């Protein structure tokens, strides 16, 4: 998948879709329409072809009819039997002329009638009326006609000035002649009748059609031997350039398109063969011409598609932009999002008309808020942990403790109490090791208690008989884990307040284990919590529980709050934490935990 801008992708996708749809439609339309058109064209070409065949045949038939009619005339038979007495401008000649003219009819079915008698006479009636002696054997067509017997012989078009009126006979005209042998009563050939007609009349329908139609089809007519009959008045080179339509017409099945090898274009070829004279009519037209309207339509369609595409592009651009804009805004918001700016952005800043994006935006805002909350909680926890540790550290690395303990050690040394000095130094070492061990993981309660023992021992050595302490913890709970330095501040607190009174002083650590909980009680021998102090502590615990901020820990006596918060973080709902006074009025703090029910 190529990466790119969403907007571009959406846009391009739409464009491709538009192209595909319109392209498919165009192809389908083109093929469907062109098929119909070609079929229609083929039909019309076929009709046209048939028309040409019919009309040409009609004219040739007329020529033939004239021929036949002449042949059946007795007068003509007589003339052919013996034309020696015939003289031009004689009565017989005039009768013959009259007869022939009447056979030709008022509509002049043929241009010229020539009668060739085997005696060597040529009788001409029509445009040219004459009677000449000829040498029949010198005519090239004689053999062909005689071979055909009584059948008609149609010549190829030929050029001649013979039948032109003398005035206008400047350029030769194209003619086709129809020959027929004439027989007498004894079925003996006596002569040949020739009817001549102008090509322009024979092919008048075709010529007329071709003149009238600009994009007229090309029409070719071949005789049975494949010689080109029409068009007739063309140069040999031109004739040579005509492709082999005849072969195509006779070999290939009609209806298939023909590849014009000369022009290299596909052509629609329609052929038809006259049943009358065996001529093959070929109409050829480039398919290109047929498809011109389709192509014109396609051009129009293309323009429409372009316009539609442009419109669609504009719409899709707008749509993709409207889709992308909120995403971009969201992206910007996400990019700008930092821990300290979490949830400060206005979620309403993004305006979108898309529901999903709206939901996404809201979800992001929600996530941002949740993240903020959880971050705050995390930061709060860390801060608290850090603070509590630093506070614990502070109270323990409180120079006075070491200072005083060292003073005590000096005194012991002065007193030469060597053993005591050793014990004190060892205790101090253990205390320092426990405190400075940079380990955030919880400690075993046993370790914490041992540490307190060392601590209290140091105090005891300093205060001697004035201070006594008791530690009585149930061994069953020594394996419990607690945050490091969680009980020590309570002991320190007890010392701080317990020693405010006159000696002797007493510190007691006891434990209570019930079925579902364990507690450790730290009791001093002082005057207990004053009501004001109780109030202050309760107030600060309340602030710490409800507010997000940590109350200031440095305030006197807030070691208790520190322990409370850390213990609550550690135990959650299982926490036990009580502070107050014993019935004797001494201060007492109880810390403990409900054991999770199994």
Partner 1 sequence: MCHYTAIVAEDEELLLNNLISKIENFNLGFQVVAKAQTGNDAWALIKEHNPDLVVTDIKMPVMDGIRLLEKTRQHYPLTSFIITSGFSDFEYTKRAIHLKVSEYLLKPIDPAELYQALLNIRKTFEIAQEEYSKVFYSEMSLHSPEAIAKTLKDYLIHNYAIDINLNLIAANMNYSSSYLTKVFQQYYSTTPMKYITNLRISSAKQLLRSSDLSIRQISETVGYNDQGYFSRIFKKHTGLSPFEFREQCHAL
Min CB(342)–partner 1 separation in Å: 45
Min CB(485)–partner 1 separation in Å: 23
Give, in order, the Cα–Cα distances in Å from 69 to each of 81, 176, 188, 395, 581.
Answer: 17, 19, 17, 150, 158
Min CB(462)–partner 1 separation in Å: 5
Tell me the C-alpha distance between 490 and 554, whole Å. 15
Tell me the C-alpha distance between 230 and 338, whole Å. 93
Q: Is 400 in the site for partner 1 (CB under 8 A)?
A: yes
Length in residues, the chain: 598
Residue with smaller CB distance to partner 1, 294 or 495: 495
Min CB(503)–partner 1 separation in Å: 5
Min CB(524)–partner 1 separation in Å: 12
Q: Looking at the DSSP assignment, which residues form a beta bridge with residue 472?
A: 510
Min CB(465)–partner 1 separation in Å: 6
Contact 508, 571 (CB under 8 A): no
Give first-to-last CA distance, the chain, whole Å.
54
Q: Is 233 in the site for partner 1 (CB under 8 A)?
A: no
Tell me the C-alpha distance between 273 and 254, whole Å. 12
Residue with smaller CB distance to partner 1, 260 or 396: 396
Q: Is 533 in the site for partner 1 (CB under 8 A)?
A: no
Give, in order, the Cα–Cα distances in Å from 204 to each of 198, 221, 251, 282, 392.
Answer: 9, 14, 29, 16, 126
Q: How many of the chain's residues bind partner 1 (CB under 8 A)?
A: 22
Q: Which stretch binds partner 1 (CB under 8 A): 64-72, 406-414, 444-452, 483-491?
A: 406-414
Give the pair of three-digit tokens for residue 162. 């013979």
211, containing H or E segment: helix 204-212
Pairing of strands 467-472, 505-513: parallel
Residue with smaller CB distance to partner 1, 412 or 486: 412
Binds partner 1 (CB under 8 A): choice among 293, 403, 539, 585: 403
257 torsion bin: left (phi>0), alpha (psi -120 to 50), beta (else): beta
Residue 155's nearest CA partner among 125, 189, 218, 197 is: 197
Residue 587's nearest CA partner among 518, 501, 513, 504 is: 501
Query: What residues between 252 and 281 interact with partner 1 by CB under 8 A?
Result: none
Q: Which stretch binds partner 1 (CB under 8 A): 174-182, 399-407, 486-494, 538-546?
A: 399-407
Residue with smaller CB distance to partner 1, 130 or 415: 415
Per residue, the 3-state secondary structure of 109-178, as one string, reads CCCEEEEEECCCEEEEEECCCEEEECCHHHCCCHHHHHHCCCCCEECCCEEECCCCCCCCCCCCEEEEEE
Q: Is 341 in the site for partner 1 (CB under 8 A)?
A: no
Alpha helices in 499-572 (DSSP H): 531-546, 559-571
Give the pair of three-digit tokens for residue 34. 């062109």
Q: Is 408 in the site for partner 1 (CB under 8 A)?
A: yes
Residue with tokens 């099945």: 253
Residue with tokens 């550290």: 393
Q: Which stretch binds partner 1 (CB under 8 A): 116-124, 350-358, 403-411, 564-572?
A: 403-411
Binds partner 1 (CB under 8 A): choice among 234, 304, 311, 410: 410
DSSP letter at 582 equals -
Query: What residues between 463 and 522 interact with partner 1 by CB under 8 A?
Result: 463-466, 499-503
Say whether 439 sits in a helix, a strand or coil. Answer: coil
Min CB(461)–partner 1 separation in Å: 6
Residue with smaller CB distance to partner 1, 28 or 403: 403
DSSP letter at 133 equals E
Min CB(402)–partner 1 separation in Å: 10
Q: Is 404 in the site for partner 1 (CB under 8 A)?
A: yes
Q: Looking at the DSSP assignment, which residues form a beta bridge with residue 123?
A: 115, 131
48, containing H or E segment: helix 6-72
Residue with smaller CB distance to partner 1, 254 or 468: 468
Task: Report cis status (omega within 30 of 0) of the bond before 543.
Answer: no
Residue with smaller CB distance to partner 1, 406 or 543: 406
Q: Is 282 in the site for partner 1 (CB under 8 A)?
A: no
Residue with tokens 């014990």: 423
Query: What residues between 445 and 464 interact with partner 1 by CB under 8 A?
Result: 461-464
Binds partner 1 (CB under 8 A): choice among 107, 414, 419, 439: 414
Min CB(463)–partner 1 separation in Å: 5
Contact 427, 460 (CB under 8 A): no
Q: Is 419 in the site for partner 1 (CB under 8 A)?
A: no
Residue with smaller CB distance to partner 1, 442 or 503: 503
Binds partner 1 (CB under 8 A): choice among 10, 411, 513, 571: 411
Min CB(382)–partner 1 separation in Å: 34
Min CB(555)–partner 1 separation in Å: 20
Number of C-beta neighbours around residue 312 at 10 A:
19
Residue with smaller CB distance to partner 1, 163 or 469: 469
Min CB(429)–partner 1 separation in Å: 19
Binds partner 1 (CB under 8 A): choice among 136, 162, 406, 543: 406
Residues that bind partner 1 (CB under 8 A): 400, 403-404, 406-408, 410-412, 414-415, 461-466, 499-503
């Amino acid at each position: 998948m190529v990466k790119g801008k969403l907007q571009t992708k959406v846009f391009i996708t739409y464009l491709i879709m538009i192209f595909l749809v319109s392209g498919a439609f165009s192809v389908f339309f083109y093929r469907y329409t062109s098929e119909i058109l070609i079929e229609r064209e083929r039909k019309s070409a076929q009709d046209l072809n048939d028309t040409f065949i019919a009309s040409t045949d009609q004219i040739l038939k007329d020529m033939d009819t004239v021929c036949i009619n002449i042949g059946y005339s007795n007068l003509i038979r007589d003339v052919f039997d013996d034309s020696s007495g015939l003289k031009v401008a004689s009565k017989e000649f005039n009768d013959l002329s009259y007869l022939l003219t009447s056979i030709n009819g008022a509509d002049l079915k043929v241009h010229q009638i020539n009668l060739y008698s085997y005696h060597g006479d040529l009788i001409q009636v029509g445009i040219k009326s004459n009677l000449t002696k000829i040498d029949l054997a010198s005519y090239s067509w004689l053999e062909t006609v005689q071979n055909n017997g009584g059948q008609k012989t149609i010549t190829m078009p030929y050029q001649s000035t013979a039948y032109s009126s003398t005035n206008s006979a400047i350029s030769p005209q194209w003619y086709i002649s129809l020959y027929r042998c004439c027989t007498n009563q004894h079925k003996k050939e006596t002569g040949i009748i020739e009817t001549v007609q102008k090509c322009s009349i024979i092919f008048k329908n075709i010529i007329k059609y071709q003149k009238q139609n600009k994009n007229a089809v090309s029409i070719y007519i071949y005789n049975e031997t494949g010689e080109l009959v029409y068009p007739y008045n063309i140069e040999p080179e031109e004739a040579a350039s005509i492709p082999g339509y005849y072969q195509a017409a006779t070999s290939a099945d009609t209806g298939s398109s023909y590849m014009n090898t000369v022009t290299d274009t596909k052509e629609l070829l329609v052929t038809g063969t006259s049943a009358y004279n065996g001529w093959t009519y070929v109409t050829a037209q480039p398919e290109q011409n047929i498809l011109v309207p389709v192509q014109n339509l396609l051009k129009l369609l293309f323009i429409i598609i372009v316009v539609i595409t442009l419109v669609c592009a504009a719409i899709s651009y707008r749509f993709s932009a409207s889709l992308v804009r909120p995403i971009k805004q969201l992206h910007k918001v996400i990019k700008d999002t930092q821990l300290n700016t979490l949830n400060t952005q206005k979620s309403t800043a993004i305006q979108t008309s898309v529901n999903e994006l709206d939901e996404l935006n809201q979800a992001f805002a929600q996530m941002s808020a949740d993240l903020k909350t959880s971050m705050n909680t995390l930061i709060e926890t860390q801060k608290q942990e850090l603070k509590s540790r630093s506070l614990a550290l502070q109270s323990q690395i409180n120079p006075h403790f070491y200072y005083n303990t060292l003073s005590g050690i000096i005194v012991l040394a002065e007193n030469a109490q060597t053993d005591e000095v050793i014990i004190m130094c060892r205790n101090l070492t253990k205390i320092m090791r426990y405190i400075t061990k940079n380990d955030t993981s919880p400690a075993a309660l046993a370790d914490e208690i041992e540490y307190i023992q060392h601590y209290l021992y140091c105090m005891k050595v300093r205060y001697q008989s004035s201070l006594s302490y008791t530690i009585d913890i149930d061994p069953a709970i020594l394996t419990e884990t607690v945050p490091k330095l969680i009980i020590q501040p309570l002991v320190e607190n007890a010392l701080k307040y317990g020693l405010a009174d006159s000696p002797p002083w007493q510190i007691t650590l006891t434990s209570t284990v019930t079925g579902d909980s364990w507690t450790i009680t730290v009791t001093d021998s002082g005057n207990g919590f004053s009501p004001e102090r109780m109030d202050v502590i309760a107030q600060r615990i309340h602030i710490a529980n409800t507010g997000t901020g940590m109350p200031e820990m440095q305030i006197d006596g807030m070691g208790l709050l520190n322990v409370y918060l850390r213990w609550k973080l550690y135990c959650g709902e299982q926490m036990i934490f009580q502070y107050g006074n014993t019935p004797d009025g001494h201060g007492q703090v109880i810390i403990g935990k409900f054991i999770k029910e199994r």
